[in-house]
């Protein structure tokens, strides 16, 4: 082998290719992939070194972490109040916050369908960058694959998050105890009904917007004010009904709700009635359920209500002893009805 190249010909950077739509080559790991990364992803977030390597070296502030992964397949990609980009960030940072962790970093994996307008991808990525900044997390690694036209639905996103967990923090859905109070941080069903309205072309008396938001700051304030918080969970797919049944099962207790105390926007309630849907099974993307000891419930409520994202928070029930681990709601008539765990999802592809 010689020690230098005898190449003296002309050499200049390849001209930028201008593809208005995603093509298969954007997922091929070659020059088109690099251009997509540099022109779309790096333009919105991250630095070159971070996103172009096989893996990203990081030094964490401590050794105790929480990890969460979520794929997003919401249809349509854009809806009143947000986009799949907002959901992909907020969904994962909220999952981390539910264990009391402070989100630290995220990875983002894209599965794009051939033909997706680059302009749509840019909007999605910009929404992700903005949501990540709002939640205080960095996007530290990424991946892009492209599938042929007809084998995807524009854009699917996976985000996986690492959060930092204080050494003494023990928040888990198996810690609810009889006597604890059940709170929700705001109105229920907004996300489901926002998706439903745009998907079905329905118009209600006023626009319903998705509640997609990071609840990390609100959770941080709640834990600071009420260190006894037992359990947190965000009622996404399956809604409040699924969330409370999971808590009851995990903690081997029952939960009794006061149906009239559950906050639901008037227009969402009307939309649910019109469509025959149950707001307790509807998905939310910026809300959480908190189980707190009875003596911290008032403080918890006041803390939540003092924050813009928690202004409609309410105490909606209590944890009770019950060997059947049932969730029951006391209706306006004073009767009790069982709130079962949903079988599937009343609206598929809500997130």
* 56 versus 270: smaller Cβ distance to its own copies: 56
Q: How far is the CB of 173 from its own copies (least distance, A)?
A: 7
Q: How far is the CB of 205 from its own copies (least distance, A)?
A: 29
Q: Which residues, numbered 286-315, are part of the site for its own copies (CB under 8 A)?
A: none
Q: How far is the CB of 304 from its own copies (least distance, A)?
A: 19
In the stretch 202-221, what mask flags binding to its own copies with x, by CB under 8 A? --------------------
Give the interface segment with its own copies, choosing from 81-89, 122-130, 235-243, 295-303 (CB under 8 A): 235-243
Q: Which residues, numbered 114-173, are part of the site for its own copies (CB under 8 A)?
A: 140-143, 145-148, 150-153, 156, 158, 160-163, 165, 172-173
16 contributes a contact to its own copies by CB under 8 A: no
Q: Which residues, numbered 31-70, are part of the site for its own copies (CB under 8 A)?
A: 31-34, 49, 52-70
Q: Which residues, numbered 241-260, are part of the site for its own copies (CB under 8 A)?
A: 242, 246, 250, 254, 256, 258
CA angle, residues 284, 290, 296, in degrees to nearest 5: 150
- The crossing angle, in degrees rounded to 10, of helices 190-199 and 266-275 is 60
Alpha carbons 215 and 75: distance in angstroms, whole number: 23
φ, ψ (nearest 5 deg) of residue 124: -60, -45
For 280, residues 6+ apart whose C-beta sits below 8 A from its C-beta are: 188, 239, 240, 241, 262, 329, 339
Q: Is 80 helix (H, G, I), strand (E, B) or coil?
A: coil
Q: Residues in contact with its own copies, total (CB under 8 A)?
A: 106
**Contact with its own copies (CB under 8 A) among 37, 89, 111, 194:** 111
- The crossing angle, in degrees rounded to 10, of helices 216-225 and 297-305 is 140
Q: How far is the CB of 170 from its own copies (least distance, A)?
A: 9
Q: Which residues, numbered 73-92, are part of the site for its own copies (CB under 8 A)?
A: 73
**Contact with its own copies (CB under 8 A) among 149, 220, 252, 321:** 321
For 202, residues 6+ apart whose C-beta sits below 8 A from its C-beta are: 196, 271
* Inter-CA distances, 17 with 11, 25, 26, 52, 180, Å: 17, 12, 11, 19, 60
Alpha carbons 37 and 142: distance in angstroms, whole number: 9
Token couple for 210: 């998705």
């Amino acid at each position: 082998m010689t020690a230098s190249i005898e190449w003296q010909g002309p050499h200049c950077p390849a001209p930028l290719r201008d593809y208005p739509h995603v093509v298969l080559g954007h997922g091929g790991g070659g020059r088109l992939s690099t251009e997509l990364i540099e022109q779309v992803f790096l333009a919105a977030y991250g630095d070159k070194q971070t996103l172009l390597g096989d893996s990203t070296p990081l030094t964490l502030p401590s050794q105790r972490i929480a990890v969460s992964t979520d794929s997003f397949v919401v249809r349509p990609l854009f809806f009143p109040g947000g986009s799949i980009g907002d959901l992909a960030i907020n969904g994962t940072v909220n999952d981390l916050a539910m264990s009391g962790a402070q989100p630290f970093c995220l990875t983002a994996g894209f599965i794009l369908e051939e033909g997706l307008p680059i302009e749509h991808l840019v909007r999605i990525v910009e929404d992700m960058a903005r949501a990540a900044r709002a939640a205080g997390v960095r996007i530290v690694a990424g991946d892009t694959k492209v599938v042929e036209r007809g084998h995807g639905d524009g854009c699917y996103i996976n985000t996986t998050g690492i959060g930092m967990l204080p050494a003494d923090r023990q928040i888990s859905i198996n810690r609810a105890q009889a006597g604890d109070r059940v709170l929700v941080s705001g109105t229920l069903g907004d996300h489901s009904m926002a998706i439903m309205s745009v998907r079905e072309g329905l118009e209600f008396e006023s626009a319903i917007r998705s509640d997609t938001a990071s609840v990390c700051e609100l959770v941080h304030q709640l834990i600071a004010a009420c260190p006894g918080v037992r359990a947190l969970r965000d009622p996404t797919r399956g809604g409040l009904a699924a969330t409370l049944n999971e808590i009851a099962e995990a903690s081997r207790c029952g939960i009794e709700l006061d149906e009239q105390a559950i906050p639901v926007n008037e227009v969402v309630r009307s939309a649910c009635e019109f469509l025959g849907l149950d707001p307790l099974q509807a998905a939310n993307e910026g809300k959480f359920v908190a189980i707190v000891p009875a003596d911290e419930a008032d403080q918890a409520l006041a803390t939540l209500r003092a924050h813009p994202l928690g202004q409609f928070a309410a105490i909606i029930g209590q944890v009770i002893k019950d060997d059947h681990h049932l969730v029951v709601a006391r209706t306006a008539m004073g009767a009790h009805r069982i709130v079962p765990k949903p079988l599937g999802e009343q609206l598929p592809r809500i997130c």
